[in-house]
Amino acid sequence: MNILDNIRVVLVEPIFGGNIGSVCRAINNNGISDLAIVNPRPTIDWEDARRLTCNAKAQLEARKEFQTLEEAVADCTVVAGTSARTGFYRDTAYSPREFAPIALESAADRKIALVFGREDKGLFNEELALCTHIIQIPSSGLYTSLNLAQAVMVCCYEMFVAADVFEPAEEKAEEASSELRERMFALWREMMIKTEFTHGQKLDHMMMGLRRIFTRGKLTVPDAKILMGLAKQSLWVKQQWDKAERKNND
């Protein structure tokens, strides 16, 4: 079982349908699919929510609804409430990055919950009392409150990264050998001379600069062949130009 399946995102009395839709997209971006909404308001614009889900409409339809937060987290071990406010007992808050390994340790075999409060008032004290941990997302003092969907994205992203389930794409092309690189540099040297891009003492200096540019990262065989093709084409164009010049002079 994917450990991310045991993470539940709980929205307490959200106000805007667009935020709910954006949350659906955010949690799916991070491999999470368990969404619960506590006491959804009758004024929520569900059509707006659908528009903002983009390709996560199925997630919106699969949401669970509960009357109280207590019901929404009843089967969860670790329950983390998010709060931007500071003060008594909030000073022991974790950042999402600090909290991620704690959450995943419990999520290995039990449900855990990430709880997000109202857009305008956040979580009330009695709701935070149900939480085992408090999460505070680091932010600038210019404005400490995050948009609901952004807060969900930040927290879920840290869970996703800590779960180490992402497999980045790998370069499949073979790395260019020294022999191939030197053939490429020889072509570029010839091209720079014949196109009069540089000459004399500057030539060696320019070639050293070119070597630094092309070896700053991994140079693959296809990379080298493209660069060789560019030099060959430049030499061919110069050759055609010279022929035309000689013909005109004759």
* Co-location of 209 and 156 in the same domain: no
* Co-location of 197 and 154 in the same domain: no
* Co-location of 112 and 207 in the same domain: no
Q: Could you please report the per-residue DSSP string of 103-142?
A: HHHHHTTSEEEEEE-BTTTB--HHHHTT-SEEE-----TT
pLDDT in tens, the chain (250 residues): 699 999 999 999 999 999 999 999 999 999 999 999 999 999 999 999 999 999 999 999 999 999 999 999 999 999 999 988 766 566 678 999 999 999 999 999 999 999 999 999 999 989 999 999 999 999 888 988 899 999 999 999 999 999 998 888 888 899 999 999 999 999 999 999 999 888 777 898 999 999 999 989 899 999 999 999 999 999 999 999 988 888 888 7
Question: 206: part of which helix (H) or strand (E)?
Answer: helix 201-214
Q: Which pLDDT score is estimated for 91?
A: 66
**One-letter identity of residue 24:** C
- Tell me whether residue 149 is in a domain: yes
Cα–Cα distance, 238 to 202 (Å, whole number): 21
What is the extent of the structural domain holding 204?
A: 178-249
* Co-location of 200 and 146 in the same domain: no
Residue with tokens 């349908």: 17
- Tell me whether residue 153 is in a domain: yes
Q: Which pLDDT score is estimated for 201?
A: 78
Token pair of 66 as six digits: 């509960």
- Tell me whether residue 66 is in a domain: yes
Using DSSP's 3-state secondary structure scheme, residue 229 falls into helix
Cα–Cα distance, 93 to 134 (Å, whole number): 5
CATH number at residue 199: 1.10.8
Count of structural domains, the chain: 2
Q: Which of 163, 196, 227 is the last residue of a domain?
A: 163
* Co-location of 21 and 128 in the same domain: yes
* Co-location of 142 and 37 in the same domain: yes
* Co-location of 88 and 184 in the same domain: no
- What is the reported pTM? 0.77
Q: Which pLDDT score is estimated for 1?
A: 66
**Phi (first) and psi of residue 11, to 5 degrees:** -105, 120
- Distance, CA of 67 to chain centre: 34
Q: Which pLDDT score is estimated for 84?
A: 80
Asked whether the beta carbons of 109 and 78 are under 8 A apart, the reply is no
**Phi (first) and psi of residue 8, to 5 degrees:** -110, 130
